[in-house]
Amino acid sequence: MRAVLDISGLSIALPKGADRSHAVRNLSLTLQAGQITCLIGESGSGKSLAARAIMGLLPPRVQIDKGVLQFGAIDLAHATPAQMRGIRGAEIAMIFQEPMTALNPLHSIGRQIGEILRIHTKLSAKERRARVVELLDQVHLPEPTRLLNAYPHQLSGGQRQRAMIAMALALRPKLLIADEPTTALDVTTQAQILTLIHDLQRERGTAVLFITHDFGVVAEIADNVAVMQHGVLVEQGTRDAVLRNPQHPYTQALIEAVPKLDPPMRAPIPPIPLMLETHKLRKTYNARGLFGGSGTIALDGIDLALRRGETLGLVGESGSGKSTLARAITRLMPIDSGEILLSGHDISRLSRAQMRPLRKRIQMVFQDPFASLDPRQRVAEIIAEGPIIHGATPEAARDRACELLAMVGLDPSAADRYPHEFSGGQRQRIGIARALAMDPEILVADEPVSALDVSVQAQVLALLEDIKQRLRLSMIFVTHDLRVALQICDRIAVMRQGRVVEIGETAALHAAPQHPYTKALFAAVPGAQWAVHDGPKDV
Amino acid sequence: MRAGLKRFARNRMAVLGAVVLLLVLVLVLIGPVVYPQGAFAITGKPMQPPGGGFLLGTDTLGRDVAAGIALGARTSMLVGVASTCVAILLGAVIGGLAGYYRGWVEIALMQVTAFFQTIPSFILALLLVAILSPSLTSEIIAIALVSWPAIARLVRGQFVALGGREFVLACVGLGAGDARIIFRHLLPNCASPVIAVGSLLIATAILLETGLAFLGLGDPNLMSWGLQISAGRAVLRQAWWVCTFPGIAILLTVLAINMVGDGLNEALNPRLREG
């Protein structure tokens, strides 16, 4: 085995005033040719900065403090900018999380990939073109010759990521750095991209540094695993050793927090009474622009029923209409036709004023804990706002807000602080408290944990479950993550292209999915064959 | 906001501007005390050079130039601040309505805004004062009426951007009405850029006021820097000090406000902030 990059004693200093002095402290790691090393950690662990240090692309005022990055004969930590330019793209390539922002929207795919060849090789225009077609073919993009002239926005997310991989591998680099390359993708697309990276890397003997926060992904493709916490490498080893027998308590906790792909036993929920029903719900987004063609059908005749006391999961990939459905049910988005029955009464045609008294009964928790709280309001004001709108006195509403803070596991002293002073998980708790302040009967949670780290995710899920039991709520839980859905939902509705393709009790759905799409979803869950807690079944 | 002030304090040019501005404000406050006889009083021989009995000399009628500058500062600051406040109010309402309701409301209001922007602002201000007859109030109204479009466009842009944020949706979900969403949530969230742009508007307003006064369209009963320059321009070659000192006062004040405005803009506008 041959070391491609030998990192020893790497420390990266943060500017003064940051929450810690070093983003990465004393990191030593060796990347071998032909192997995938997964660098795993939660947000703020320093994993992405470590990768950017290798590329010489640290943000301004962040610097390598000490350490050696031995890449062949060159120490990347002390390479000149000219040396780095020669290495970047040619010998070390990088792929990013969001292929849409990493590609230039004004250049065609062919031109962007060709550009790398133009900078680093002496190929003629015709040879470059042939090479680009060959590369696009290798990453299994359909009709490579036609794609040469396509622009990034004309490709799907998965196709863009394939184009990025083609670009990264154009010059057969010795090292590929992949920074969460599949996090923004749907689970079925993610599975394809992981296979692609794995196959290409094996074929060419490329060393890969794969940065991720997802143990499922690690189980899927890693040869070696390195776990980072607060800038320190706490554990490293082969995949089997780390996943099966983690030594460090942090690694153990992280693995423990991964939701099991195995639903817990749940008492069945009686099919009546029904809290909420939808009948033939339809919604079409109009095409924009003067001559826009047909619109996008977001909801295509949805019939659903929410039983009292149950958690109904809406599972699907992006564009399946699950978030649209959540917003339609809460009347935050108008529908085209159909009915929404709240305890038997149609609310789909009520005016905003008529709807106002009913808002208390159905409340929403949003996905993005950073966007869903007004940055200019104090926490107590945020939570008390709903009751005040509905006639509570400010004093009573404030007292209630403090009670609710305690209920969602925050200190009452949080009441007088602003949202930016809290972490993502804490903000999500504030969002939950805001919804609970209305004493709702139904809670609609739209991807409430997908923006959170896995350990925080587990805590917020436990909180939702606990609150649901204590307050006897019914809940609609929207998620793209089957693992999460299996843990928290009584029933799951699988959505695709605006339709519910399958609905059933969680355990039954997991044991015997009927619809081919449901089967595909289960098959695509990363690390599906890896029952984390008792080792691999067949790896 | 507090972090913004800290960033402001790190910007030396902005702090220098703030100091100059503070001096102008001191001048506004102590002017009537130091010169109780007023700026129009004839206190000595005409056209005395600076340094003699009078610090900055006297003008063609024997009025003290220093007194004119000290008391004219009040007019400039008053018109600058008052017209900017009116412009912000008007701009925030129009921009806010357009940005919140979108659709035809937005199209109509933004067309009006664009209409105002196509007319050169000084000419329009001139016309308005001429129609309203010269006085302090009509100056303020005229300057406000030519300044609001910048604020309206800014507020509209902010409202459109904020309107898609989940916290606004969350408010709708709580049953909040339009007024609550606009005044409690959207407006406070665009305060920073409005303050930054508004401070720069004060400088423009002072220049407009000076221009109006220079052309004799200022309030005839109030001393102002523009009026002083206007009175002195005929004797520019014999008595340079009559025009020069008010000119320097205008230059320093407007420069200081611009530096403070740029400082605020950098400190409060997240888009200009570097990582």
Task: Report pLDDT for A90.
Answer: 85
Residue of chain A with shortest Cα separation from B187? A376
A359–B185 CB contact, under 8 Å: no
B173–A373 CB contact, under 8 Å: no
Task: Report pLDDT for A398.
Answer: 92
Q: Are A365 and A311 in contact (CB under 8 A)?
A: no
B228 DSSP β-pair partners: none
The CA distance from B183 to A132, in Å, is 55
Residue A124: helix, strand or coil by DSSP? coil
Of A59, A327, A438, the CB nearest to B174: A438
Terminal Cα-to-Cα distance of chain A (whole angstroms): 22
Q: Which amino acid is at A368?
A: D
Of B172, B175, B185, the CB nearest to A374: B185
Find the DSSP H helices in A45-147.
Answer: 47-55, 81-87, 99-102, 109-120, 125-138, 144-147
- CA of B153 to nearest chain A CA: how many angstroms apart? 22
A207-212/A36-40 β-pairing: parallel
A372–B167 CB contact, under 8 Å: yes
Of A332, A357, A390, the CB nearest to B169: A332
The CA distance from A120 to B216, in Å, is 69
Task: Report pLDDT for A400.
Answer: 92
Separation in Å, CA B115 to CA B89, B112, B118, B144: 19, 5, 5, 15
Q: Are A349 and B137 in contact (CB under 8 A)?
A: no
Neighbour count for residue B131 (Cβ, 10 Å) = 9
Q: Is B270 touching A (CB cutoff 8 A)?
A: no
CB pairs < 8 Å spanning A and B: 65
Burial class (CB in 10 A: 0-12, 13-18, 19+), A430: buried
Q: Are B71 and B65 in contact (CB under 8 A)?
A: no
Task: Report pLDDT for B270.
Answer: 54
State which residues of chain B have pLDDT below 70: 1-2, 269-275
Task: Report pLDDT for B155.
Answer: 94
Neighbour count for residue A262 (Cβ, 10 Å) = 12
The CA distance from A322 to A444, in Å, is 11
Token pair of A170 as six digits:
């154009």
Contacts of A433 (CB under 8 A, 6+ apart): A383, A401, A404, A405, A407, A408, A410
Place of tokens 């002496």: A122
Token pair of A22 as six digits:
């070093």
Q: What is the pTM of this model?
A: 0.82
The C-alpha angle with vertex A508 and arms to A507 and A514, in degrees rounded to 5, equals 135
pLDDT in tens, B120-138: 989 999 999 999 988 899 9
The CA distance from B60 to B237, in Å, is 12
Contacts of A124 (CB under 8 A, 6+ apart): none
Terminal Cα-to-Cα distance of chain B (whole angstroms): 17
The CA distance from A506 to A490, in Å, is 6
Task: Report pLDDT for A531.
Answer: 57
Task: Report pLDDT for A423.
Answer: 85
Residues of B in Cβ contact (< 8 Å) with A59: 275
Residue-by-residue pLDDT tens, chain A, 539 positions: 688 999 999 999 988 777 788 889 999 999 999 899 999 988 888 888 898 899 888 888 888 988 999 998 889 888 888 888 888 888 899 888 777 777 888 888 888 888 888 888 888 989 999 999 988 888 888 888 888 888 888 887 788 888 888 888 888 889 999 988 888 788 888 888 888 889 888 888 899 999 998 888 898 899 999 999 988 999 999 998 998 889 999 999 888 888 888 888 888 888 888 899 999 999 888 755 555 456 678 888 899 999 999 999 999 888 788 888 999 999 988 889 999 999 888 998 888 889 998 999 999 999 888 889 998 889 999 999 999 999 889 999 999 999 999 989 888 888 888 888 888 889 999 999 999 999 999 999 998 888 888 888 888 999 999 999 888 899 999 998 888 999 999 999 999 988 999 999 999 999 999 999 999 999 888 887 665 444 444 43
The C-alpha angle with vertex B15 and arms to B14 and B18, in degrees rounded to 5, equals 90
pLDDT in tens, B72-105: 888 888 999 999 999 999 999 999 999 998 889 9
Residue of chain A with shortest Cα separation from B171? A386
The CA distance from A331 to A173, in Å, is 52
- Tell me whether 0.85 is exceeded by the ipTM: no
